[in-house]
Structure 1
Amino acid sequence: MSRSDRRRWRSARTISDLGGLMALWLEGEIASRPGYQPRYGPEDETAHLVPTLAAVCRAGYVTTQSQPGSAGTGVDGLWWEQRAALELVVTDPALFHRLVDAAYAAGLIVRINDYRPGGGVQEQPVVATTCDGEAMTAFGGRVSRADMAMQWPGLHRDLYRAVSTGTYVSIIAPEYGLAGERLWVVLDVLTGQRRKDAADPWAGSTQLTGPAHG
């Protein structure tokens, strides 16, 4: 990570600051982010998700990982299936309930891992990627203190305390493949990127705004 990038992340003091910087990284305005390979942006497979993810970050959440829904033969000749999935951290109770309520209403899978002092809900992970039917990756599940520190290096201590004692929410489409891409429509409705369609609120929304730019 360059000195200027490191300084920008270190200057963040609030979850809102952190979300704004994460949105800029998603959009390519910042070359590096904490806990990720230096000078690498989002994976190519998530390029079409950037407007949605950036809007989520600017709405008071901070995304930590995501993947699109897909299914097909990989370069290894094996059959790969992915569920659309997202993990984020939230510290505002009202934003937490708004997100979780929207996800449940859409029939999506939700996993909650709460790191508030004194302990909280720690739900089990959900398989999100399979190869020839064998589980490969999962979303959700408890993050150890060591892994939390590796995920958020270089933050101001007050902001690190906030994200390391926040609530991590994983939202996973129940369907494998493209059908699960409705997850992003749900998030666009949540952030105001799309208007809900009364006939089909989770698949037929109308785009209201273009990609977010920093």
Structure 2
Amino acid sequence: MPLPWMSWSDRRRWRSARTIADLGELMALWLEGEMASRPGYQPRCGPDEETKHLVPTLAVLCRSGYVTTCSQPGLVGTGVDGLWWEQRAAVELVVTDPELLNRLVDAAYAAGLIVRINDHRPDGGVREQPVVATTCDGEPVTAFGGQISRADMAIQWPGLDRDLYREVSTGTYVSVVAPEYGPAGERLWVTLDFLTGRRHNDTVDPWASSTRPAGPASR
């Protein structure tokens, strides 16, 4: 599928990606503002303003084999529409390495986070239902997790090399969601920082914790 809204240089870089590591590096560069566009996202637009403080965590995840596709911080408050919004911190990632998948899921469960897994391999057997992540005046608005249709997968990853597209479209999509609504759920990013090694009880970091989450359980 062509990407007419991308610059030629960005289009060529996404098309030239051959591995998950390549894809993760390009996604990290987009998150950091080094690339103007990414597949499946609004043309020439970077991450939403509310997620900019998550960029360091998300970029390291992408460079560690976990390609993030969607994320949001934990927020509560009155929106510009005058309605009451509640939002859970949440992230969706595509993982193709079984060892990395086990580490992520174990770390998330050990931290008491909500996990939803959808394995898109032809012989995959895990099909979990989505979890509500955002409400407006108590009514569900958005959810994380759930199966992605073949048509939506093509919309999410247009313009990739055919073999790489086959790999990401048949990967395992993991959604990790904080059980709490609002800022308390920002502990999700602490867990992910420990997972990737970005965090080592950094007292300067506003999310720093004096207690490291329990390590992944053996499998």
Q: Same fold (TM over 0.5)?
A: yes
For residue 55 of structure 2, give the secondary structure of its aligned residue in structure 1.
helix
- 2:152 matched to 1:151? no
For residue 76 of structure 2, give the secondary structure of its aligned residue in structure 1.
strand
- 2:129 matched to 1:124? yes
The 5 A counterparts of 1:45-84 are 45-84=50-89
> Residue 47 of structure 2 corresponds to which residue in structure 1?
42
Q: Deviations over 1:171-206 (max 9, x none)?
A: 000000000000000011111111259xxxx96159
Alignment partner for residue 101 of structure 1, among 106, 119, 141? 106
**How many residue pairs align between the two structures?**
202
Q: How far 1:61 sits from its partner (Å)?
A: 1.0
Alignment partner for residue 112 of structure 1, among 112, 117, 122? 117
Alignment partner for residue 188 of structure 1, among 187, 193, 198? 193
CA distance in 2, matches of 1:11, 1:181: 35
Q: Which runs of 5+ in 2 are unaligned?
A: 1-5, 212-219
CA distance in 1, matches of 2:170, 2:177: 22
Q: Which runs of 5+ in 1 are unaligned?
A: 207-214
For residue 154 of structure 2, give the secondary structure of its aligned residue in structure 1.
helix
CA distance in 1, matches of 2:160, 2:166: 9
- 2:180 matched to 1:175? yes
Q: Could you tell me which amino acid in structure 1 is paired with residue 55 of structure 2?
A: V
CA distance in 2, matches of 1:159, 1:140: 22
Alignment partner for residue 37 of structure 2, among 32, 35, 52? 32
CA distance in 2, matches of 1:91, 1:158: 13
TM-score (norm 2): 0.90
CA distance in 2, matches of 1:112, 1:196: 29
Aligned 8 A contact 1:106 1:186 in 2? yes
Aligned 8 A contact 1:62 1:88 in 2? yes
* Aligned Cα root-mean-square deviation (Å): 1.4
Q: Could you tell me which amino acid in structure 2 is paired with residue 72 of structure 1?
A: G
Alignment partner for residue 145 of structure 2, among 140, 146, 161? 140
Q: Could you tell me which amino acid in structure 2 is paired with residue 28 of structure 1?
A: G
CA distance in 2, matches of 1:46, 1:125: 21
CA distance in 1, matches of 2:193, 2:160: 28
Which structure 1 residue ranges, 4+ long, deviate > 6 Å from structure 2?
A: none
> Residue 209 of structure 1 corresponds to which residue in structure 2?
none
TM-score (norm 1): 0.92
- 2:43 matched to 1:5? no
CA distance in 1, matches of 2:90, 2:37: 22
